[in-house]
Structure 1
Amino acid sequence: MKIMAVLLSFLLLVGCNDTIAQNKIKVPWDKWYFTFSTPKDLPAQVTIVKLLDTDGYGYVFKTVDQPQGNSTGTWGAYIGKGIATFNKADAPPQMIKFCWDSIIDKKTYETTLFFAADTKKKMITSEPAWDNPSKTYYFRYMVIGLAPEGKVRVWLQSNGKPNIEQTSTKIITISDKKLDMCKRVTNFPNGYEYSEGMKEFIKDKVYPYGKW
C-alpha cells in the first residue's frame, strides 16, 4: 500500500497523462463530476486538485468549482450539486489529492483520497431515474465535504435518495509542518479573517460547531 501510494502521488505531482492504464473499462457516460461542500458559514477554498483515474490518466485542476453548502450541525442528506463546470474527468477516480484553506480553522490542509473498487463499480451502474423512469440515472456525481478540524467525507449523489457515503475510501489529511504538495499553497498569504456572518454564526457555539 505504501509503495502504491508513493507511485500514485508521483504520477499526480508530475501531472503525467502517459501512465500505464490498468483495468480499463468502458464507462456508460461522457464525464463524471465532483463538487465540494462546506457547512453553513464555515467556508473553505480549494486551491489545486490532482486526480488519477482508473484508466491511468492524470488531471491537474487549478481552476476549481469552489465549495458551496448550507448544512448546520451535521451533514445534510442531499448536499452537493450534479454537473460542475471545471471538476470533471473521463473515468472513475483511483485517487484525488487536493489543497484547501479552512477559513474557520485558519490553516491549510492537504487531503488525499484513495478510492476502493466499489466506488468505481457504483459509478458505472445505473437504474431508472426516480423522477422519470424512462430515463437512466448514473451515479456519476461525487460530493466531497470539507469541515472544521480538517474533516473530509465523500459521497456519491443518489437517485432521488440520500447521498451514499463512500466509507471504503481511505482519507488522509495533513497540515502544518507535514504539508508536502500544499506547502505555501494558499489563497490567504496575508492571513485569515472571519466575516461578520461567520462571527455571528459561531457566537456561543462550541468548536467544531457540529458533528462532521
Structure 2
Amino acid sequence: MKPLVCLATALLASCAAPGSPRTGLPYDAWRLGFLAPSYMEVWLEAADVEDVHGRIFPGAMSGTVAINYSGDPAGWSQPVGWGKGRDITGAALPQRIYVRWQSLAEPQTYRAVLDIPASARQRMREKAPSMRPPIKYEYQEALAIGLAPGGWIRAWVMSPSSTPVEILCQKAEIEPKGPDQGKYEGRYVTLGPESKEYLRLHPIPYDSWKCPAATESVQ
C-alpha cells in the first residue's frame, strides 16, 4: 500500500523531493543576506534580484544589515557570517543583484550592479562539508554580501556550516541623488551611539576593504 499512498499524495507534493521544478533548484529557496564591518553601520535602501531567467524580484531586502559592535572593523573577519537576510522563494539562482545603500559611517550613498558569476551559481547547486566535526554535507544555498565604507563590496557563497567562498569583489559608484533618491532633504539614517563613539576615536580603515587590483570592478 505504501507506493500507492505516496503516488496519490505526490499530487499534493507531500512525497516530492525538496526543490522546485519551476526554479530548477535542488532545494526550496536560496538565501540572500547582507553584512557590514564592525561599527560601520549600513542602511540598505534596496536590493533587487534578477534571476537567470531574467525575472526581476524587486524589494528582496531593505533596512539594517548584520553588524557587530566589538572588535576591529578593518578587513573582513573570517569566517564571515551569512548576514541579515531572507529566503528568496520562487526565484531561480541569481544572475544580478541591484543594490543601493547608505554607508552611515561616512556618510555616503552608493549603488552597484553585482553580476553573479556562473561559477558561483554552480557552487550554489553543490554540497560542501561543514567546517567542524561531525562532518556533514549541505547545499551552499546562501549568498552573503558585505558592504563597506568607500563603496567596497564582497560576496560569498556558503552553506549554514561550510567555509564561505568569496565569489565577487568590486567597488560601487556614488549615488548622485543622495540618500533615499533625494527624498527627505538629503538626510541620512541616524548613526547609532556605539558606532558614533567608535568613529570619534578611530579613523575609517578604507584601504582594508579594497579589492585586489586584478578583481576590482566598477559598475
Using structure 2 for the length normalisation, give the TM-score.
Answer: 0.69
| Structure 2 partner of 1:75 | 76
- Report the secondary structure of 1:203's partner residue: helix
**Highest CA radius of gyration, 1 or 2?**
2
**Is 1:31 matched up with 2:43?**
no
| Structure 2 partner of 1:110 | 111
- Report the secondary structure of 2:208's partner residue: coil
2:23·2:90 contact (CA, 8 Å) conserved in 1? no
Q: CA deviation at 1:207?
A: 2.4
Q: Aligned match of 1:50 in 42, 45, 48?
A: 48
| Structure 1 partner of 2:172 | 173
AA in 2 matched with 1:211? S
Q: Return the alpha-carbon distance in structure 1 between the equivalents of residues 158 and 60 of structure 2.
A: 24
| Structure 1 partner of 2:203 | 206
Deviations 1:139-198 (A, max 9, x none): 11111001111111111125634321004x6x4511143x69x87167884345543312
Deviations 1:106-162 (A, max 9, x none): 1211111011210111110124556565x6401111110011111111111256343
Q: CA deviation at 1:64?
A: 2.8
Q: Return the alpha-carbon distance in structure 2 between the equivalents of residues 153 and 146 of structure 1.
A: 7
**Alignment size in residue pairs:** 184
- Report the secondary structure of 1:202's partner residue: helix
| Structure 2 partner of 1:197 | 194
| Structure 1 partner of 2:148 | 147
- Report the secondary structure of 1:120's partner residue: helix
**Is 1:123 matched up with 2:120?**
no
Task: Give the RMSD, CA atoms, in angstroms.
Answer: 3.2
Q: Return the alpha-carbon distance in structure 2 between the equivalents of residues 83 and 72 of structure 1.
A: 17
- 5+ long unaligned stretches in structure 2: 1-21, 210-219
- Report the secondary structure of 2:78's partner residue: coil
- 5+ long unaligned stretches in structure 1: 1-23
